[in-house]
Amino acid sequence: MRLLQCNNDGDLSLTEFVENDIPKYAILSHRWGAEEVIFRDLIDGTSKVKAGYGKIQFCGEQSRRDGLQHFWVDTCCIDKSNTVEYQHAINSMFRWYRDATKCYVYLPDVSRPRSVLADNSNESWESSFRKSEWFRRGWTLQELIAPASVDFFCKERKLLGNKSNLEQVICETTGIPATALRGSVLSDFSVAERMSWTECRETTYKEDKAYSLLGIFDVYMPLIYGEGKDRALARLREEIDKSSRGFKREDFSVAFSLSNVFDIEHFVARTTELAEIHKGLSGDGSRRIVVLHGLGGIGKTQLAIAYAKRHKDNYSAIFWLNIKDEDSLKQSFAKLAKQISREHPSAIRFSNIDINQNLDEVVDSVKSWLSLPDNTRWLMIYDNYDNPKLSGETDPAAVDITKFLPESYQGSIIITTRSSEVRIGHPIQIRKLGNVDDGLEILLNASRRQGLITDPDAVKLAKELDGLPLALATAGAYLDQTARSFSDYLRLYKESWVRLKETSPELSSYEDRTLYSTWQISFDNIKQRNPLSAHLLGLWAYSCRNAKPRQRI
């Protein structure tokens, strides 16, 4: 990706960056005019004589005001005479706009004269803003939706507003839902709805009606100018269909199942994290890895489940692996091999091995199947990677995840771990729920009780459990099985907290003691109602010899 920078002498310079080394940058969105500055003009030093140079100058000045040294303008940062580069740029365009720190929209057909600059109302320019040709162009759809921060500037290069405070006007003008403007995952909207956003938009080249939507539908295809709009749209729909059903589904699809994973019926909040996971896993088919790290009980597994359920149609297969230790992980691979063999009997990689005996060979066979050239649309979720093999690690039970990753650079991977030291992929820290209403919603769903928002004791309990989803769900499950009030539970919780401080001093962290205080209340209730069940639970915990004491719970 090439970026522009204003030098001390006022001239512009271009710098090319590789994907993992791109600095923060601003990006310009505009309608092309008659005299645009192109790549060759910058190289030849003839850019300043063209009318379009003023827009580039404006973008550079505004980016500096926003503390950004680099900026990108489509007219001159791409060498359109290089067909390979142009193809790559079109397929990367949505991502480039999405990753920009700031997007500046320049509207030459919207004027806010100096005489009305002191007027804070929108009345003087809102009508022309709604009628701006910018809202009628095909390419500007992704330029509106993809960036998180979009600022609108009038002909006089004065700020009119941003995507947030002009949201209602933009929604009314474009017909795009506010949730899409706010960054909701686009796959949440149907294909038909996303197509409807383009109905009143035009492009200079007919084929761009399809090509300008590649990022909106998260698909990739070659550009064939001259094929016509209908053929280009037909190819686009073919790619959308492949993506939604899983690429080469007849060869590599495996039925989606969470039969071996504990799933909650109601998933609360975490929209920002879900969007970040989707962003981290969106790409061109090369391997993408996202690492969800955070405290135990913070909701990492449920977040991964929610993502898998929401995006299951984007993958040909989704596999769940328990990576708490090597034995569990190899057993997970064996289950995968059985599932693949059952649904794809012709998969020769599994026909000559004993799935129940030779687990090392099973792991290699699954990795080999996942590395087949056309098998690129799978998602692997490695859950509970809490004992990672790190540099200097002496624990013989620590797991080296790299031995269990497919060798080919394709597919998508989610890893959940308590460790913040797993240096692989894109890290996302999962924090406690910051909104007490989200905690109340978990309590409501788990306890199946109504009116929690107006119940002061329920609010006190939600605040006491401090945004820890597992603690909230455990408390709710207890309340669902008993006639206890929220005030009763809060008293039991505080008593359990004090008792654990005396009996389990190794629970030094606030979060751990919160989790185990709620568990102790539930265990005491089981012991009172059914001593044999409590005894069996204790035996199970004792038999888990590989776990640390507090993990046995």
3-class SS letters over 83-117: HHHHHHHHHHHHHHHHHCCEEEEECCCCCCCHHHC
For the chain, 553 residues long, give each residue's pLDDT as a single digit of tens. Answer: 999 998 877 788 899 998 778 999 999 999 998 899 999 999 988 888 999 999 999 999 999 999 999 999 999 999 999 988 998 899 899 999 999 999 999 999 999 876 554 555 566 799 899 999 999 999 999 999 999 999 999 999 999 999 999 999 999 899 898 889 998 888 878 788 888 899 889 999 999 999 999 999 998 888 999 999 999 999 999 888 877 664 444 468 888 887 777 766 666 668 888 888 988 887 655 688 999 999 888 889 989 998 998 888 778 899 999 999 999 999 999 999 988 888 877 665 666 677 777 899 999 999 999 988 778 889 999 999 999 998 887 889 999 999 999 988 888 999 999 999 998 989 999 988 888 888 888 888 888 887 777 788 888 888 888 888 888 888 888 988 898 889 998 899 888 888 877 777 776 676 777 877 887 888 888 888 888 887 887 777 666 544 443 443 4
Residue 228's pLDDT is what?
94
| Distance, CA of 80 to CA of 87 (rounded, Å) | 9
Q: Are strands 25-29 and 2-6 parallel, antiparallel or unpaired?
A: unpaired
Do 452 and 326 belong to one domain?
no
Do 406 and 475 belong to one domain?
no
| Distance, CA of 244 to CA of 188 (rounded, Å) | 12
Do 491 and 412 belong to one domain?
no
Q: Tokens 């001390």 correspond to what residue?
A: 8
Do 46 and 24 belong to one domain?
yes
What pairs with residue 317 in β-bridges? Answer: 378
Q: Are strands 159-162 and 150-153 parallel, antiparallel or unpaired?
A: antiparallel
Structure token pair of residue 125: 């320019």
Residue 372's pLDDT is what?
86
Spatial neighbors of 543 by CB under 8 A, at least 6 apart, are: none
Instruction: Give the CATH number of the domain where residue 418 resides.
Output: 3.40.50.300
User: What is the count of structural domains for the chain?
Assistant: 3
Helix axes 469-481, 486-503, angle to 10 degrees: 120
Q: How remote is the C-alpha of 179 from its chain's centroid?
A: 15
DSSP codes joined into one string, 489-535:
HHHHHHHHHHHHHHH-TT--SHHHHHHHHHHHHHHHHHHHH-HHHHH
| Distance, CA of 6 to CA of 69 (rounded, Å) | 8
Q: Which of 372, 406, 429 is the last residue of a domain?
A: 429
Burial track 387-405 (b if 16+ CB lie within 10 A, e otherwise): bbbeeeeeeeeebebeebb
Strand, helix or coil at 310?
helix
Do 283 and 194 belong to one domain?
no
| Distance, CA of 302 to CA of 8 (rounded, Å) | 51
Residue 59's pLDDT is what?
96
DSSP codes joined into one string, 509-522:
SHHHHHHHHHHHHH
Q: Which domain holds residue 464?
A: 436-551
Q: Are strands 412-417 and 378-383 parallel, antiparallel or unpaired?
A: parallel
Do 306 and 187 belong to one domain?
no
Do 42 and 120 belong to one domain?
yes
Spatial neighbors of 319 by CB under 8 A, at least 6 apart, are: 254, 336, 378, 379, 380, 381
Let me know if 307 is exposed, middle or buried by CB neighbors in 10 A (0-12, 13-18, 19+).
Answer: buried
User: CA separation (Å) from 185 to 34, 167, 217?
Assistant: 36, 18, 11
Do 405 and 444 belong to one domain?
no
| Distance, CA of 36 to CA of 57 (rounded, Å) | 12
Q: What are phi and psi of 175, to 5 degrees?
A: 80, 10
Do 446 and 424 belong to one domain?
no
Q: What are phi and psi of 317, to 5 degrees?
A: -155, 145
Do 406 and 460 belong to one domain?
no
What is the total residue count of the chain? Answer: 553
Q: Which of 196, 221, 244 is the last residue of a domain?
A: 244
Q: Which of 429, 453, 470 is the last residue of a domain?
A: 429
Question: Running DSSP on this structure, what letter comes out for residue 205?
Answer: S
Do 456 and 417 belong to one domain?
no
Do 325 and 397 belong to one domain?
yes
| Distance, CA of 515 to CA of 466 (rounded, Å) | 10
| Distance, CA of 473 to CA of 446 (rounded, Å) | 6
